Amino acid sequence: MSVSPADEVAGPGVVARVSAVLGAFSTAPAEGLTLTQLAERCRLPLTTAHRLAGQLERERVLERSPDGRYRIGLKLWELGMLAPRGHGLREVALPYLEDLYEVTHENVQLLVLDGAEVVVVERLRARNAVQLRSRPGGRLPAHATSGGIVLLPSAPEVLDALAAGPLERFTAATIGDAEQLRATVALARRQGWCELRGHLTPGSVSIAAPVVVHGRPAAAVSVVGEIGTDSSPLIPALLTTARAIARALAAARTP
Amino acid sequence: MSVSPADEVAGPGVVARVSAVLGAFSTAPAEGLTLTQLAERCRLPLTTAHRLAGQLERERVLERSPDGRYRIGLKLWELGMLAPRGHGLREVALPYLEDLYEVTHENVQLLVLDGAEVVVVERLRARNAVQLRSRPGGRLPAHATSGGIVLLPSAPEVLDALAAGPLERFTAATIGDAEQLRATVALARRQGWCELRGHLTPGSVSIAAPVVVHGRPAAAVSVVGEIGTDSSPLIPALLTTARAIARALAAARTP
C-alpha cells in the first residue's frame, strides 16, 4: 500500500470523524439512521457523511437495511468481540455469574469502569425480579451504582473529578456531594463491598464487589433486587463469586 | 468541524487502513499486538501504523495493555453490541437457544451468513459434549457447515461462487464439488433442514434449520453432537426452536 503525503496530513481528522460516525449509533433507534440523521448527529456536511458512510459500508463496518438506513455492521460486532475488557472478560466470568444467579435468583451484572461511568459487560435478568435500567454494552453513572462505587478506589483521578461535581441526581437517595461520595467509596473499600438503596431507581437495591486481579480491580459483580430485599444473605455469595472470577481471570491471563 | 481539501482526497485510503488495522486483531493472540507486529500484519510502514494506532487509542477504539501492546478497546465492543445482525439477534434468540439446549443437552449455535462464511452469533456449549471449532464472533466455511447449507438458498450468487470452486476440504466427507453442493442445498431447502456428518471435523454431526422472517432466512440454528448421535429425535426440537426465534424476531422487528 502506497503512502501519499495527503494521507499523512489528513489522517487524524478522518479517524476522529469515523469515530464520530460510529458513535452516532449509540443512541440510534433500532431501525438505524438515514443519511440525513447520521450527518446531523455527527455535525458533518451531507456530502462528507455520505462519503464516509459509503466507505464504511464497503468495509462492512456499517450495513444498510432494505429501506436504506445505516446500521452497525456484522464486521464491527465481530471485531468488538475481540475486546479483552468486553467479550474476553464476559467469557471467563459467565459461568460464575450463572452460578450466582442460580443461588440468588436476582439480577446479576458484570461491570467495568470507563471514565466516570460503568459499562455493563453482562447482565443476567431474573424473571419476576425488579426491572433493570441497563443493557449489555450500555452505561450507568459510576456515582449512582454500587458497581461504580467499588471500582472508584482504583481510579483516584476519576473520583476527584466526580467529587468536584456537580453529581447528577436520579432519586432523592442519589449521592449528591463530595463528602458523601468519598465516605461511601471509603466504606466500600474498607468492607470490600457496597450497598446502595434506591440511588439509581427508587425501587431497587444493588450490592457490588470488586473482582481484584493482581491487586487491581478489573471489574465489579453486582446483584440488583427489589428495595425490600434483605441483602445480608446475598453478600457472602457475591464475595465468593467475585473471588472465583478473579481466580479464573488470573488463570486465563485476561486482564 | 471544518473540511480541508486534504481530507477530501485522503479519506478512502484512511478508512481502508483503519479497517486493516482493526482487522489485524482478528487473528491476534490474547495478549495483543506490539506496534511492530501490527505494522507487519497491515503491511503499513511503522510510522503510519504508529500514527493510526495512536489516533485509534485516543478515540478509545484501541487500548494498550500495561506492557504497551495494542488490543481492541472497550468502545469498539460497545459499538459492536449495537449491530442488529450480531447482538440484537442474539438477545432475541437466546432464551429459545437455552430451551433447545435444556431439551437436547447438545451444543447449540446461532449463525448468520456473511459472504461464503457463517458467523457464529451465539454458541451454548454442552459440558461433556463434542468439542466445537467455533467461538462467538468466529467464522466457519458455509459449504462445510449445516448452518451454511440451509442459508445458501437465500444467497444464489454466493452459492454460484462456491460452486465455481475450488471448495476447501476439511475431512474426507467435506463437500468437494459443485454437483454435490447444489444437491445438498436443494435437499436442505426441500426438507427445511440439513444434516452433515463429519464434514468439518471427523467426530461430529451437525443439524441446522433456517430462521425465516418475512420469507427471508435471517439466521440459522444448529445442534452439534457426536458423530454417533441419532439426530432424528433432535430435528423436531430444532425446527420448533427456529420457528419460535422467527416469531420473536418478527415481533421485535429486528431483522
| Listed range (B8-12, B18-22, B140-144) with the worst mean pLDDT | B8-12
Same domain flag for B97 and B133? yes
Instruction: Return the residue in A1, A31, A56, A77 with the most chain B beta carbons within 10 A, the one to mutate for interface testing.
Output: A77
Can you give the pLDDT at residue B85? 85
Domain CATH for B62: 1.10.10.10
Same domain flag for B101 and B215? yes
Can you give the pLDDT at residue B129? 62
Q: What are phi and psi of A79, to 5 degrees?
A: -65, -40
Domain closes at, from A79, A103, A137? A79
Residue A78 in this model has a pLDDT that exceeds 70: yes
Domain closes at, from A61, A79, A97? A79
How many domains does chain B fold into?
2
Give tens-digit pLDDT for A157-197.
999 999 998 999 999 999 999 999 999 999 999 999 999 99
Give tens-digit pLDDT for A24-53.
998 888 789 999 999 999 999 999 999 999
Same domain flag for B118 and B16? no
Same domain flag for A137 and A201? yes
Average pLDDT, chain A: 88
Predicted TM-score (pTM) of this structure: 0.78
Domain extent for B17:
5-79
- State yes or no: ipTM above 0.90: no
Mean pLDDT value of segment B214-234: 92
Amino acid occupying residue A51: R
CB atoms within 10 A of CB B16: 14
Contacts of A86 in chain B (CB under 8 A): 72, 74, 77-78
Same domain flag for B22 and B105? no
Chain B residue with the nearest C-alpha to that of A27: B82
Q: What are phi and psi of A201, to 5 degrees?
A: -135, 140
Chain B residue with the nearest C-alpha to that of A94: B124
Domain CATH for A210: 3.30.450.40
Same domain flag for A11 and A73? yes
Instruction: Closest CB to B72: pick one of A25, A80, A119.
Output: A80
Between chains, do B77 and A85 touch, taking CB under 8 Å as contact?
A: yes
C-alpha closest to that of A104 among A217, A182, A206: A206
For A180, the grid coordinates are 458523601
List A217's β-bridge partners, or say none.
Answer: A212
Can you give the pLDDT at residue B8? 40
Domain closes at, from B45, B79, B113? B79
Contacts of B19 in chain A (CB under 8 A): 59, 61
Same domain flag for B193 and B247? yes
Give tens-digit pLDDT for B199-211.
998 889 999 999 9
Between chains, do B84 and A61 touch, taking CB under 8 Å as contact?
A: no
Give tens-digit pLDDT for A240-254.
999 999 999 998 864
Same domain flag for A144 and A192? yes
CA distances from B62 to A38, A244, B21, B34, B57 (A): 23, 28, 10, 12, 5
Same domain flag for B172 and B150? yes
Give tens-digit pLDDT for B141-177.
999 999 999 999 999 999 999 999 899 999 999 999 9
DSSP letter string over chain A?
Answer: ----HHHHHHHHHHHHHHHHHHHGGGG--TT-B-HHHHHHHHT--HHHHHHHHHHHHHTTSEEE-TTS-EEE-HHHHHHHTT-IIIIIHHHHHHHHHHHHHHHH-SEEEEEEEETTEEEEEEEEPPTTSPPPS--TT-EEEGGGSHHHHHHGGG-HHHHHHHHTSPPPPSSTTS--SHHHHHHHHHHHHHHT-EEEESSSSTTEEEEEEEEEETTEEEEEEEEEEETT---TTHHHHHHHHHHHHHHHHHHHT--
Chain A residue with the nearest C-alpha to that of B112: A74
Same domain flag for A108 and A187? yes
Can you give the pLDDT at residue A1? 41
Can you give the pLDDT at residue A133? 67
Same domain flag for B140 and B203? yes
Can you give the pLDDT at residue A171? 92
